[in-house]
Every structure is written in structure tokens, then in C-alpha cells.
Amino acid sequence: MDKEINRRKFLTTSGQAAAGLGLTLGASAALSCKTTAAPAVGVGRSRRVGANEKVTLGLIGCGGRGRHVMSIFQRFPDVEIAAVCDVYRPNCEKARGMTGGKATTYNDYRQLLERSDIDAVIVATNGHWHVLPTIHACEAGKDVYVEKPLGTSIGEGRAAVKAARRCDRIVHHGTQQRSMPHYARAVEIIRSGKLGDISRVGVWDLENQWPGFGNPPDGDPPAGLDWDFWLGPAPPVPFNINRVHHHYWFFDYGGAWQLDWAVHHYDIVHWAMGVERPYAATAMGGKLAFDDNREWPDTFEAICEYPPGPASKRGFLLVYTFRGGCQRPIEQRFHGKAFYGTDATLVLNRNGYEIYSETREGKKVVEEIRRGGSPEDGPHQRAFIEAVRSHERTTADIETAHYSSNPGHLMNIAWRVQQRIRWDAEKEQVVGDREANQLVTRKYRKPWALPT
């Protein structure tokens, strides 16, 4: 039976006075793991999954990515998808169809979280809806597989880490490269000192998005889409198709490829270099290739500065490049990273890696080649299921996710204030720049509020 929430009935019965599907999730309304006050979602009573029991999952966010990730979990015989949720009705029905019509559908994820039979959830919404469902799932006693990046601001990421720790939940980030064997081998090589001392790491994402996304007019949302709920904590604006189809490129929903794609790269760089926190960032770029209604640049360059670490005696620069108007590859790759050492350079992406030795004449000779494999064949998702059973944190833990997301956030802050910013990683504050520091935590539209 379809249990999609009746909008007006819910507002009345829950005592929420806000117009629309108001998610009153501030400190006074959000469920605390240590309180018995009336919660916004069901009381967080987690259970340990027995050895012979199936892990029961719910999907929050049923777009293409959400359905794809769900399909991977469906391959596991010890996993069952019991519920699916989306504010766009057709997506929800597609996901339900993938379960043979067995899953219950929801419009409001909080109803899904009230179910005591659900052990964990997949959060695969667009970026500005990653953190609140993650926090409230933790508070409801659920473990979480959350897609990247972790939120649209540094403050959101820290709030998610606090919730996971406070509620003692497993939160596993969708940076699936962590589970690909050739990345682990590359990290081992970099940590071994084989490349010498690394002073620069190049990271890039190159595309040809010609002719751009265009300038479609605002209009009415399609049938079945709750636009107010889709916006959620973001500012109220008219529906525009590009805000949905290209949400990565709008300030309120994403951070462009320097955050939403490159978080994969930064995650590996941090792992390989044995660091977590840059101390400064600078960026430049603009809409130099296309005339469309995106807000983030279509051409972008940025640098994060890091302190010394196991593979860099004096620190290193992480240099990021995005081109939307030309896909001419760097190091023979459209997406990738290169670790430039005094003795050798390692070039790495999902297809594999190559090591080039440095001779005194500057000649490069291929020293080692290793091919990669598909990042979507299940190991990363399997690692989450095993963690739900064991209750042991994974290599893609929530705090690792937070630190892997932060370089992109810092680049974007630097770009928006148009200057080099200094970062106090302990306090998670921009030093000496009030305007930049105000961008560390995004403002939420009332009645939504970020728990602190």
C-alpha cells in the first residue's frame, strides 16, 4: 500500500506551522540520541543485525544515481530494499519498480526513518540534501551510506560528523575509489618513498560541455515534483530545469566539479600523502567558455597548500584544474591526478596508474603500469554492509569524508572572495577574513535548521 505522506495532514498532525512540507529540524525539534523528548522522526533504537538476517535498507533519493547504487546493493543476497523515498513521484515509482513493487514509497524521508525494521539507508539525493537526512538517520538509529560530496559547506560536514559520533552510527561515504585495489597499491608506492619527495600533486577534470547548458526560462515544476521540498533549506526560487538537471553548477545545491567530482581525487591524495587538512587556498576562474545560467565557473584553477607529511618533507601544493570547454587531456587522462616527486611521477585514475622515472637529463621512462577496474562492481557497497554487521568504521568513514570534501569547499570560498584564504584546520575557521568565514557554514531557509 502506498504510504506517501498527505501534505496538509502531516503538517496538522505533527504540529508544524510552516507552509509547505516544513522540515523543522532545528535543535528544539530534531531528535537527539540522548533525549526522550518528542522527536521529528522515530526514536533511535538501533539493532544489531544477526548473522543469518538480511540487512534491510531504505533509499532516500531515487534519481539515476540513487537507483544505480540501489541496484548494486540488490545484487547481495543478504540485503533487502524495503522502502524508497523521493520528492519527485516518477523517480520514486521507478525505484519501487526495481524492487518488483515490494518497497513502500515515501515523499517525506522522516516517515521512512520512523520504521523500526530498516537497519540502514542510502542517501543519494542531490548535494544540498545529503546532510540533513544523514543526521536524522543517525538520530533514528540507522547506519548511512551517503553519496559524495558530504554537503555543500564545511559546517554541514562537521555537523554530520558530530551526529554520527554522538549516535555511534556507521556512516560510509560514496567515494568508491577507496575500494579499488590499484588505488591501494598506488598509495603504498607513494608512501614507500619510491617517488622521492613530492612537492606538487596535480588534479584535473576535463570535459567539453559544448554548447553549454543554455538559458531556459523559469516555469512550473513538472507534475509529481514537490518543488518546495526539493529546495528544502535552500533559498526559495522559481523552478528552472537547469537547477534540477545541472544542480552541481548552482551555488545553493552543489560546488561544481572542484567539489562534486574532485572529492574523489582529494580523498586519494589525502590517503596517499598522509595528510587531511590544507592551511591555505586560492582560486580563479569564470564563465569563459559558455553563456548559460550556471553560477559556478566553466573554467577554473585553484591551489590548496598543505603542510609537510610522510611523502612531502616541506609540504606540497595540490593544484586543481577544471575545463568545461576543452577536453584535451593532461597526462593522457580526462580525469586524474599526478604525484610529482623528485625521483618519479605517478599518474593515476580509475583505469590504472603509470610511474615515470626522472633521470638527470629529464627523460621519462615508463617504470610500472597497472590497470584498474570498474569502481562500480560492488566492493565499496559490500564494505558498508559488512560494517553494518560488525559496527566497525570503514576506510570511507564520515570524518574522512568531511576532510576529503573540504579542499573543494575552500577553493570555492577563495574564488568567491577573490583572494588567498588562510585556514585554521583545528577551529575550522578562515583566519582574518569575516566575509570568507561566513561561507564556511551555509545559511538554511527557515523552518529548516542545521543541528549543532
Q: What's the CATH number where 15 sits?
A: 3.40.50.720
One domain for residues 195 and 131: no
CATH number at residue 239: 3.30.360.10
| Whole-angstrom distance, CA of residue 98 vs CA of residue 102 | 9
Q: How far is CA 445 from CA 294, 295, 345, in A?
A: 21, 20, 47
Cα Rg, the chain, nearest whole Å: 22
Residue spans of the chain under pLDDT 70: 1-47, 50-52, 359-366, 373-377
Q: How far is CA 342 from CA 226, 333, 354, in A?
A: 55, 22, 16
For residue 51, the model assigns a pLDDT of: 65
Q: How far apart are the first and last CA of the chain?
A: 37
For residue 27, the model assigns a pLDDT of: 29
| Residue found under cell 600533486 | 201
For residue 401, the model assigns a pLDDT of: 98
Confirm whether 152 is domain-assigned.
yes
| Whole-angstrom distance, CA of residue 107 vs CA of residue 25 | 17
Confirm whether 450 is domain-assigned.
no
Q: Could you tell me the three cell numbers for 34?
A: 540522548
The string of pLDDT tens digits covering residues 260-295 is: 999 999 999 999 999 999 999 999 999 999 999 999
The residues that bridge with 56 in the sheet, in sequence order, are 80
* Nearest of 311, 209, 324, 330 to residue 268 by alpha carbon: 311
What does pTM read for this prediction?
0.90
For residue 250, the model assigns a pLDDT of: 98
One domain for residues 140 and 226: no
Quick check: helix, strand or coil at residue 292? coil
One domain for residues 88 and 144: yes
For residue 16, the model assigns a pLDDT of: 31
Confirm whether 449 is domain-assigned.
no
Confirm whether 448 is domain-assigned.
no
One domain for residues 112 and 57: yes
One domain for residues 215 and 353: yes
One domain for residues 61 and 113: yes
For residue 24, the model assigns a pLDDT of: 27
For residue 368, the model assigns a pLDDT of: 77
One domain for residues 258 and 328: yes
Confirm whether 244 is domain-assigned.
yes
One domain for residues 216 and 279: yes
Confirm whether 451 is domain-assigned.
no
The string of pLDDT tens digits covering residues 129-165 is: 999 999 999 999 999 999 999 999 999 999 999 999 9
| Whole-angstrom distance, CA of residue 229 vs CA of residue 25 | 13
| Whole-angstrom distance, CA of residue 221 vs CA of residue 421 | 39
Q: How many CB atoms lie within 10 A of CB 9?
A: 9
Q: Which long-range contacts link 417-425 to residues 24+ away (Cβ below 8 Å)?
A: 419/282, 420/280, 420/281, 420/282, 421/280, 421/281, 421/282, 422/279, 422/280, 423/277, 423/278, 423/279, 423/280, 423/281, 425/276, 425/277, 425/278, 425/279
One domain for residues 165 and 251: no
Say how many domains are in the chain: 2
One domain for residues 124 and 258: no
Confirm whether 439 is domain-assigned.
no
For residue 452, the model assigns a pLDDT of: 73
Confirm whether 285 is domain-assigned.
yes
One domain for residues 144 and 88: yes
One domain for residues 196 and 337: yes
Domain span at residue 253?
A: 178-375+406-434
For residue 370, the model assigns a pLDDT of: 77
